[in-house]
Each structure stands twice: as structure tokens, then as C-alpha cells.
Amino acid sequence: MSKALDDVTVLDLTTTFWSSIGTALLADFGARVIRVEDLPKCGPGEHQNGWDCDVELAQRNKLCLAVDLEQESGRAIVRELIPRVDVVVTDWPRARIEQHGFDYASLCVLRPDVIYAHATGFGPKGPDRDLPALDELAAARTGMMPILPQPGQPPVYAGVGQMYTAVMLALGTMLALHHRQATGVGQEVDVSLLAGNMYGASLDVQAFLAMGGERFLHPVSRLDAGNPMSGVLYPSQDGRWVCLTMPDTDRWWPPFAAMMGLDQNDPRFDSHEKRCGENRLELLQVLDHAFRQQPAAHWKQELNRRQLSADVIEEYDYPASDPQALRNRYILELDRPGVGPVKTLGFPIFMSDTPARLNRMAPGVGQHSAEILHDLLEYSEDRIATLIADGVIA
Amino acid sequence: MSAALEGIRVIDLTVWFQGPVAAQHLADFGAEVIKVERPQGGDQGRGVRSIKALPVGDWNQYFLVINRNKQSVALDLKKPAGREVMYRLVEKSDVFLSNMGVELLESWDLGYEKLSSINPRLVYATNTGYGRFGAVTKPSFDMTVQALTGIMARLGEPGQPPIYLGMGSGDAYGGLMSALGILLALYHRNRTGRGQMIDASLYGAQLFLAASTLQKYLAGGQAEHAKQQSRKAAPNPLRNTYATKDRWVFLCLENTDADWSRLCRSLDDQKLAADPRFDSVIKRRQHASELIEWLDRVLAQRSAAEWLTRWRAEGITASRINNLAELADDPQTWENDYFLGTYCEEVQRQVKVRGLPIGLSKTPGAVNSLGPELGQHTEIVLTELLGYTWEQVDELKTQGVIP
């Protein structure tokens, strides 16, 4: 079966979990992704880190070339590879890129139609363009941390901005590949953690831009929610939480009221305007009291039986054993040599003719160095042996 | 200047946020996106009147921004004549995208088999709630699906309610996944001439969104990755949130001896620097709670501005924890086009909108227009693109297929 990115080779100069996931998404769909890593810091036999599940996810399906980029002969190998690659992806700081001569202008000389994707903390322009690419730093700037928790609670760092940025990195690269496919012209792609964090907060950010107001700047109590039937959490008898998402309350009120043991004709709550307007706070209190009368398992069963848009807040053990997640390959069960059976995140995108595949587990450092230099650059075995002996590659 | 997706035509049969925003990414980069809506009321997103119990004001930014750069065709797909119009549109398009239920699409005879038989080059994309396979068919709104992933349950201080990542946070991610899947399929189609079916579900996307902690839980099943963790027990006290005298800051250091010395210097606290409980990487982790308590006490004595000035001098990475008003004034966001100004027809003035999170140097995205009026382009698409005569258009109006 063919792969979506059969003819694409990516040189992967990423250094972090999230940016490496950006290139893993391309590798999952068949791109040949060559990860360039530093030489291992410890000697043979000293490497005892064991299995790293984050590496397994971020580096799967990739090849690994270990090369000492502090040596000119190491950098020369990377430059020699450029004419053979379609895409270069990096999250390096600008200063390091320029020191090594791996900037877009320099690589264009070697391959004029190269696509050059740069993942940064704060974007290619502006006074803070050289701040470190740390998700925490970008999240702190985005304005959501203070309003995620309940009033009076510390700000919350959710750690997801980086995941938006990872997909934006893959999407930006695909947009550029599509354009190159049509015109033969390569270009630079820029994504940043600030942009990813902001995009993840799209609706809050846009609502504030258009509407303004203190309500977007401070946490809103769950018992002051705008719609008592949508986007609200209620505690059940056993302390587990139920969340409701029934924005169109006219549609859901009759079966929902029945489940809660409320009179659907209660004159306080018999229209959307009353439920979300004049009697909103009262309905929040009534529901808060009602949900506390039964345990979460009861509510889950009732919600499912009535096909209401609501559910119990689960913990990670739920998806880990959810047949739906396994059936759709969102979560995979693997037998990792030397580790045994493990679970790992799978593939969020389904394609009928060119599905994502796990062809390779994450490579060891330098696992494919010789193979890459032989296959792409036609280095002789002697030359490869010399480079290893000289400590240029591993 | 040319656009990355010039020449790509997308049929956007979507409502609310995930599907529409997937198509918005394509439209921002130059695809011709034709949004197909029911004649009565259109996309439900047009009906949003309030957000967080506040009135949306004089322009419905919810709908208009998500559906920017698109055309709108109003079409009754419950009528066979409406479906005939859709089939003619499919013949002329590259992508069909829908976040309607799979059963509903089948009932309208708009399933993959049917549409790919009309146009084998078509990329057929869906946004299901829980995936193409398996038995789950219950409703799938953003927060309910987020609830199932487990990510909400592990955020916030212990004992506090679970935390939702923000309005539409999961839809936004599903929309990105959907756009990526469509681009992958288009790239493959351009080489092989064959379209295919893709799906990016809300559940699949949101599980991936939780990767930084869910992956660890899947590997080892340890509860610490699934439960709420207090900031008072953060494993690395040097990377943590702190309340200064006037506001919160995020200290973003590594737990290394070098960063530790820098921090102690900036705090001007000899006792802390000399405390044997904190004099190594391992000890700072072992005594994390005590160290955080100490830092809480010290940092509360000065304002955020004072600390950040000192920290800048020491090369310490840290930030104020901003609110949305500060984000809206942040020059970094405007200089990189993460925010843009654009003209809004509805209110006849410039408005501020979220901009372009992906930069392309030679074919940048653009916001050329905000969301269309319902059915604004119905007649022009039918006559100019699909070749209907005006008599036929009138006939479709008489039948109530188009408004």
C-alpha cells in the first residue's frame, strides 16, 4: 500500500518533545524523516536510560543520524545531505542556526526549492523573537492561565499549547509542500509556541477582542456559568464530576429535566431565556443540589441511556482501556523488545488509502548513520568507518 | 502574490467550530471554500447571541471569524433536487468536508462511496465524534469529549473541580488535525490522481492533545500522571508559578546548580543559598515542598516588575502571567500577524480578529473577508460555476431548494 508522503525526505533538527512530534506526524504518513542527533555523551555500555515513552512517541518512524555538529566535518555532512532532502525542520535558536550556517539563505544555495520550517517560542518578528522556545513561557503570555481555575485559585498551566504548535508545524510544512508540488518553489514556514497557545484559546481570545469585559480577565465560578446546561461541572454524590454540553437548551430540556427529576414545566425554567437569563443562577443551584443526590455511575448510565450530551469526568485509566480508542488506533498496544507490552498514543488522523503506520520504533542514537550516508550520499564503508573512528559520526 | 492552495476548491458542509475552522485554515491559504448551509438559519454558529453570559455585541464574531474567506451557498439537502446541486458541486471540487453525523450524510446519499463515484479525485473528509470505527454514536460536544480523555481530571489543585482547557479547545485541535489530513490526502492525490476518505475525530484529536501526560500514563499506569498535582509539590520548584506581591509569575528555570545559583543571587537570600536541604539537584527535588514554601514567602515581598527586572539582569527565564487584555496589547502578537485588523461589513468598521498562526514566507495567508451572509453566493455559484440557467435557478427557488 502506498503512503501519502512516499516521495518526501525531511531533515529533522528538532530538540524537544513537541517539535519532534511535528515531524513524527510526517513520518507516520510515510515521509523519510532523518533525525540528526548529537553524538551520545556517554561511552559504549554506559547508556542506561532505559525505555523513554516520550521518545517513543516523538521519534517513531524516524531514522537517526548521529553526528558531531561542533566539527566542521560534521557540519559538512549535513550540508551534503541538503540537496537530497525536501524539508528541513528545526527548533534551534537563531544564533545557533547562524553559527552552524544552517539558515534558510545558506541552505537555499545548496537546494533552491528546499522547504525550511522553523519552530520558535515567539515568532520570527518582534522584540521577543529570541526568547527561549518554552511552552510555559508562551502559556504565561497567552492570558488563559488566570481564568482556567475557579476564583481564588492559582493560575493553571495545562501544557497543551505545545501540542497545537506541533500540528501547526506539520500543517505549515504540508502547505508549503503542496505549493512546491504545484510550482516547484520552496519557502520558509514559521510556527511558534505563542501562536499555538493563542490558537488553542481561539474562542476566548476572539470573544475578548470583540466584546471585552472583566468577565474574560478573572475566573468565573462554575455556579455563575452563562448556561447552566452547557460548559458546566457538577459534583455527584461520590465526588466525581459530571459535565454538561447542551447549548441549545430548548432541545435538551425535556429529557434532561426528566432525568434530574425536575418538572419540565416548572415556570422558573420553562424557556431558554429563563434558563440562561433571569433564572440562570437559580437553575445552577438546583442542578448542583440534584447532581449530589446520586453517584457518578448512576449519572453515566442515565446520560447514556437517554443519549444526552453530557458525561462523567474520567481519568486517564478510561481511554487507556477504552475499546473505542484502540479500535480507531488512537491508542496502540505494542510489544517493545526489551520492555514488553506497552501502550502508546497512536494516530489521530484516519486515512482510508494511505493510513498511518508504525513501521519503526524510535531509533537508538546513530542507529541509521551508516545506512543514511551509504544510501543518500554513496559513502563507502571505509569512509564511514573512518568517520566513526574520528568521532565525527556514531 | 500567489496562495499555497490556489486552485483547490473545498465544499464545507460543517457547523459550529471544528469543521468550520478546518476549512478556515484552508481558506486562509487561498483555497476556494464554499460553505453549504441549510436555508433555514444556516450554520448554528450564526445563532450565537451570548458568550459567558455576555451579549455578543453588534457583530457575531463567533461565526464571522471562523468562517472568514468563505462563500455561502444555501441548499436544502433534504430534497433530492438539492442533492443534485451538491453532486454537480462535487464534480467540480477537490475536497468535501463535513462534521455532520455519518448516518445523516448516508441518509442524504452523501456518503464516501457515492461522492467518490462522482469524482474519484475527491478528498472526502469527516469529523466524527469518536472515530469511524466502533459502536459509540453519542453526541460529541467539545467539553464532553474532553471529559472522557482524562486531561480535565488532572488539572488544578487537589480537591478543586476539574479544569476545562477553554472554549472550543478540543474543536480547535480537531480542526487542525482535519486540515492536516486533508493536505496529506491532497498531496497524495496530486501524485496519483486518486482521492480517499479521511477522518479526524474530536476524541482522537483530544487524546493526542493530552500527549505530554497521557503518554506517560499509558506507559506506566502511574496515578501521579492522572491525578491533580499541587503547585506546592511541583517536582522542580524552579519551574513553577509564584505569587509576587502584586501578581503571579511563571519562573521557567531548569533544576541545575547553575540556575539555582542565579536564582539565589537574584533573591539576595544568603540563608537560602547556604541551606543544605537545597544544595543539589536531587535534594531540591526531594525537598521540593519546603523550597516552594520558602520561595512563596520570599517572592511575596516584592512586585512582579521588581523581580522580573532582577531576573533579567541575571539571565533568568521568567514571565508575568498575563491576562487576555495584556495579550491583546502584546506587540509580539501583532508584529507576527497573530492578530490582525480587518474590515467588517456588518458594522462597517475595522475590527480585531485572531490572525495567522502559521507563517509562509512566499505564500502567506490572509484575511480578505469575514464570514459570508447566509446564501450570499448561491446564485453566482449555481450559474457561473455549475452552469445553471436563470430559469433553472428560478425553478429551484420555486421548489424551495434554494432560498
Find the CB nearest A153 among B50, B157, B361. Answer: B157
**Closest CA–CA distance from residue A393 to any residue of chain B (Å):** 29
User: What is d(CA A24, CA A294) in angstroms, rounded to the nearest whole number?
Assistant: 45
B315 to chain A, any CB pair closer than 8 A? The answer is no
C-alpha pair distances (Å), A66 with each of A8, A30, A39, B224, B232: 21, 22, 5, 34, 40
Inter-chain residue contact B336 with A192, CB threshold 8 Å = yes
**Closest CA–CA distance from residue A383 to any residue of chain B (Å):** 37
- pLDDT of B390 above 70: yes
Average of per-residue pLDDT across A182-209: 98
- For an interface test with A, the pick among B25, B127, B143, B216 (most A C-beta atoms closer than 10 Å) comes out as B143
Give tens-digit pLDDT for A302-346. Answer: 999 999 999 999 999 999 999 999 999 999 999 888 888 999 999
B53 to chain A, any CB pair closer than 8 A? The answer is yes
A289 to chain B, any CB pair closer than 8 A? The answer is no
How many other β-carbons are positioned within 10 Å of the β-carbon of residue A49? 7
Q: Are A204 and B327 in contact (CB under 8 A)?
A: no
Q: Which domains does chain B have, with CATH numbers?
A: 9-209+330-398 (3.40.50.10540), 231-243+248-320 (3.30.1540.10)
pTM score, two decimals?
0.98
The closest of A27, A311, A162, A97 to B141, measured between CA atoms, is: A311
- pLDDT of A256 above 60: yes
Find the CB nearest B248 among A155, A188, A353. Answer: A155
- pLDDT of A45 above 50: no
Instruction: Give me the pLDDT at residue A338, please.
Output: 83
- pLDDT of A44 above 70: no
Closest residue in A to B329 (Cα–Cα):
A209
pLDDT category of residue A51 using cuts at 50, 70 and 90: confident
What is the separation of C-alpha A39 from the centre of its chain, rounded to a whole number of angstroms? 27
Q: Reduce the secondary structure of chain A to three states and give it as a string.
A: CCCCCCCCEEEEECCCHHHHHHHHHHHHCCCEEEEEECCCCCCCCCCCCCCCHHHHHHCCCEEEEEECCCCHHHHHHHHHHHHHCCEEEECCCHHHHHHHCCCHHHHHHHCCCCEEEEEECCCCCCCCCCCCCCHHHHHHHHCCHHHCCCCCCCCCCCCCHHHHHHHHHHHHHHHHHHHHHHHCCCCEEEEEHHHHHHHHCHHHHHHHHHHCCHHHCCCCCHHHCCCCCEEEEEECCCCCEEEEECCCHHHHHHHHHHHHCCCCCCCCCCCHHHHHCCCHHHHHHHHHHHHCCCCHHHHHHHHHHCCCCEEECCCCHHHHCCHHHHHCCCEEEEEECCCEEEEEECCCEEECCCCCCCCCCCCCCCCCHHHHHHHHHCCCHHHHHHHHHCCCEC
pLDDT category of residue A42 using cuts at 50, 70 and 90: low
Give tens-digit pLDDT for A73-96. Answer: 999 999 999 999 999 999 999 999
Average of per-residue pLDDT across B274-296: 97
B256 to chain A, any CB pair closer than 8 A? The answer is no
CA-CA-CA-CA torsion sign (A91, A95, A99, A105): positive
A276 to chain B, any CB pair closer than 8 A? The answer is yes
DSSP state of B192: H
Judging contacts by C-beta atoms under 8 Å, the chain B residues touching residue A156 are 155-156, 163
Find the CB nearest A344 among B218, B353, B360. Answer: B218
Q: Are A34 and A81 in contact (CB under 8 A)?
A: yes
Give tens-digit pLDDT for B186-228. Answer: 999 999 999 999 999 999 999 999 999 999 999 988 999 999 9
Percentage of residues in chain B having pLDDT higher than 90: 95
B225 to chain A, any CB pair closer than 8 A? The answer is yes
Inter-chain residue contact B321 with A146, CB threshold 8 Å = yes
- pLDDT of B369 above 50: yes
Type of residue found at A211: M
Record the cell numbers describing residue B359, joined without a space: 507563517
Q: Which residues of A8-18 are buried (b: 16+ CB within 10 A; e: fewer)?
A: bbbbbbbbbbb
**Closest CA–CA distance from residue A3 to any residue of chain B (Å):** 8
Inter-chain residue contact A241 with B196, CB threshold 8 Å = no
- Mean pLDDT of all residues belonging to chain A: 95
Average of per-residue pLDDT across A260-287: 96
**Closest CA–CA distance from residue A30 to any residue of chain B (Å):** 10
How many other β-carbons are positioned within 10 Å of the β-carbon of residue A42? 9
Judging contacts by C-beta atoms under 8 Å, the chain A residues touching residue B156 are 148-150, 153, 156
- pLDDT of A47 above 50: no
Give tens-digit pLDDT for B163-196. Answer: 999 999 999 999 999 999 999 999 999 999 999 9
Judging contacts by C-beta atoms under 8 Å, the chain B residues touching residue A352 are 112, 196-198
User: What is d(CA B236, CA B291) in angstroms, rounded to the nearest whole number?
Assistant: 10
User: What is d(CA B43, CA B66) in angstroms, rounded to the nearest whole number?
Assistant: 11
Record the cell numbers describing residue B244, joined without a space: 509576587
Inter-chain residue contact A345 with B362, CB threshold 8 Å = no
- For an interface test with A, the pick among B132, B188, B312 (most A C-beta atoms closer than 10 Å) comes out as B188
Judging contacts by C-beta atoms under 8 Å, the chain B residues touching residue A161 are none
Give tens-digit pLDDT for A220-248. Answer: 999 999 999 999 999 999 999 999 999 98
C-alpha pair distances (Å), A340 with each of A51, A170, A331, A333, B207: 11, 31, 16, 10, 23
A318 to chain B, any CB pair closer than 8 A? The answer is yes
- For an interface test with A, the pick among B215, B249, B334, B353 (most A C-beta atoms closer than 10 Å) comes out as B215
Q: How many CB pairs under 8 A join A and B?
A: 485
Q: To 10 degrees, the CA torsion angle through B375, B377, B379, B384?
A: -160
Inter-chain residue contact B336 with A122, CB threshold 8 Å = yes
B104 to chain A, any CB pair closer than 8 A? The answer is no
A90 to chain B, any CB pair closer than 8 A? The answer is no
HSE (side-chain half, CA atoms, 13 Å) at A223: 8
Q: Which residues contact residue A122 at a Cβ distance below 8 angstroms, ignoring those fewer than 6 apart?
A: A128, A129, A131, A138, A141, A192, A193, A194, B332, B336
A350 to chain B, any CB pair closer than 8 A? The answer is yes
Local structure of B253: helix, strand or coil = coil
Inter-chain residue contact A171 with B180, CB threshold 8 Å = yes
How many other β-carbons are positioned within 10 Å of the β-carbon of residue B275? 16
A93 to chain B, any CB pair closer than 8 A? The answer is no
In terms of C-beta density within 10 A (0-12 exposed, 13-18 middle, 19 or more buried), how is residue A7 classed? middle
Between β-strands A87-90 and A9-13, what pairing exists: parallel, antiparallel or unpaired?
A: parallel
Inter-chain residue contact B186 with A178, CB threshold 8 Å = yes
DSSP state of B154: G
A155 to chain B, any CB pair closer than 8 A? The answer is yes
Q: To 10 degrees, the CA torsion angle through A55, A134, B366, A97?
A: -80
A225 to chain B, any CB pair closer than 8 A? The answer is yes
Judging contacts by C-beta atoms under 8 Å, the chain B residues touching residue A199 are 172, 176, 354, 357
Find the CB nearest B319 among A53, A140, A243. Answer: A140
Inter-chain residue contact A176 with B360, CB threshold 8 Å = yes
Instruction: Give me the pLDDT at residue B137, please.
Output: 81
The closest of B217, B24, B17 to A316, measured between CA atoms, is: B217
Inter-chain residue contact B213 with A316, CB threshold 8 Å = yes
Judging contacts by C-beta atoms under 8 Å, the chain A residues touching residue B353 are 206, 209
B346 to chain A, any CB pair closer than 8 A? The answer is no
Give tens-digit pLDDT for B122-169. Answer: 999 999 999 999 988 888 999 999 999 999 999 999 999 999 999 999
**Closest CA–CA distance from residue B378 to any residue of chain A (Å):** 28
Record the cell numbers describing residue B101, joined without a space: 453525523
User: What is d(CA B215, CA B212) in angstroms, rounded to the nearest whole number?
Assistant: 6
Judging contacts by C-beta atoms under 8 Å, the chain A residues touching residue B190 are 178, 181-182
Judging contacts by C-beta atoms under 8 Å, the chain A residues touching residue B197 are 351-353
- For an interface test with B, the pick among A351, A357, A361 (most B C-beta atoms closer than 10 Å) comes out as A351
- For an interface test with A, the pick among B25, B124, B321 (most A C-beta atoms closer than 10 Å) comes out as B321
Record the cell numbers describing residue A99, joined without a space: 553559527
Among residues 163-192 of chain B, which lie with CB inside 8 Å of chain A? Answer: 163-169, 172-173, 176-177, 179-181, 183-188, 190-192
